[in-house]
């Protein structure tokens, strides 16, 4: 405190002049109008295989201690539709593939109900390792894992994303709104339409909500038809 702002400004100008002169002597001809290295990824996105490689035998969060294996994702690397769930359960942890337990079998039937096969779409989770006793993912676990989900989505660049259950929708949409208010409405994630719906595990416990998800899936199917121009 107590520094005259005019002196500070003079010092700033002097330092900038010295800096620019040094840059000029190093060959700099002009100052770029925008930062050269911004937050946007430079160059083409990674492939799914490269994202998997970068993830490695991950120990970025505490879930690594309880997992059998990482459950990265499965399906078509050029899928037009990606489903994003929450986290692997016991079956997924054992097999290394998302959505293969009871909820997964229901998801497979939901996919078939909209005229697709499981292998046409891509399926992954916001969390790649099974939480103990299937508890909800914690904030630090989501923070550690989310960059890899984002890179998976960048690699695939689907035309449409469907999130399953509250945590997936809330993570990608950066909201705390309950899934009951998010579901059935189209949002946008980095330019890609995103439709939240209920989680198939929730449907197993609340079968009367199947008609709600069926409505959501009809909207999903319509959107996909519109976006791909195929019937």
The contact set with ligand URA (CB under 6 A) reads 85-89, 92, 98-99, 101, 103-104, 125, 165-166, 179, 198-199, 201-202
Q: How far is the CB of 222 from ligand URA (least distance, A)?
A: 21
Picking from 183, 167, 81, 67, the residue whose alpha carbon sits closest to that of residue 123 is 81
CB nearer to ligand URA: give 212 or 227: 212
User: SS3 string of 155-222?
Assistant: HHCCCEEEEECHHHHHHHHCCCCCHHHHCCCCEEECCEEEEEECCHHHHHHCHHHHHHHHHHHHHHHH
Q: How far is the CB of 58 from ligand URA (least distance, A)?
A: 17
CB nearer to ligand URA: give 151 or 199: 199
What's the angle, vertex CA 109, arms to CA 105 and CA 157, rounded to 5? 95
Q: How far is the CB of 198 from ligand URA (least distance, A)?
A: 4
Long-range contacts of 172-177 (CB under 8 A, 24+ apart): 172/84, 172/126
Query: Quick check: helix, strand or coil at residue 140?
Result: helix
CB nearer to ligand URA: give 75 or 101: 101
Q: How far is the CB of 37 from ligand URA (least distance, A)?
A: 35
CB nearer to ligand URA: give 203 or 224: 203
Sorted by sequence, the CB contacts under 8 Å of residue 68 that are 6+ apart come out as 93, 94, 96, 130
Q: How far is the CB of 181 from ligand URA (least distance, A)?
A: 11
| Chain position whose Cβ is nearest to ligand URA | 85
CB nearer to ligand URA: give 150 or 227: 150
């Amino acid at each position: 405190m107590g520094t005259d702002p005019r002196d500070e400004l003079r010092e700033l100008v002097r330092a900038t002049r010295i800096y620019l002169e040094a840059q000029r002597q190093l060959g700099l001809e002009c100052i770029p109008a925008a930062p050269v290295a911004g937050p946007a990824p430079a160059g083409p996105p990674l492939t799914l295989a490269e994202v998997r490689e970068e993830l490695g035998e991950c120990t970025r969060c505490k879930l690594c201690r309880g997992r059998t294996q990482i459950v990265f994702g499965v399906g078509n690397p050029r899928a037009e539709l990606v489903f994003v769930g929450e986290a692997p359960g016991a079956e997924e942890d054992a097999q290394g593939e998302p959505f293969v337990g009871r909820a997964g079998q229901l998801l497979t039937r939901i996919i078939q109900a909209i005229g697709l096969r499981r292998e046409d779409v891509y399926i992954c989770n916001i969390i790649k390792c099974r939480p103990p006793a299937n508890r909800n993912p914690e904030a630090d676990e989501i923070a550690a894992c989310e960059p890899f989900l984002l890179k998976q989505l960048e690699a695939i660049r689907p035309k449409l994303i469907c999130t399953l259950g509250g945590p997936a929708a809330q993570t990608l949409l950066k909201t705390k709104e309950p899934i009951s208010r998010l579901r059935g409405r189209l949002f946008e994630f980095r330019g890609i339409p995103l439709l939240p719906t209920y989680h198939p595990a929730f449907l197993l416990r609340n079968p009367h909500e199947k008609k709600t998800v069926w409505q959501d899936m009809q909207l999903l199917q319509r959107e996909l038809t519109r976006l791909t121009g195929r019937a």
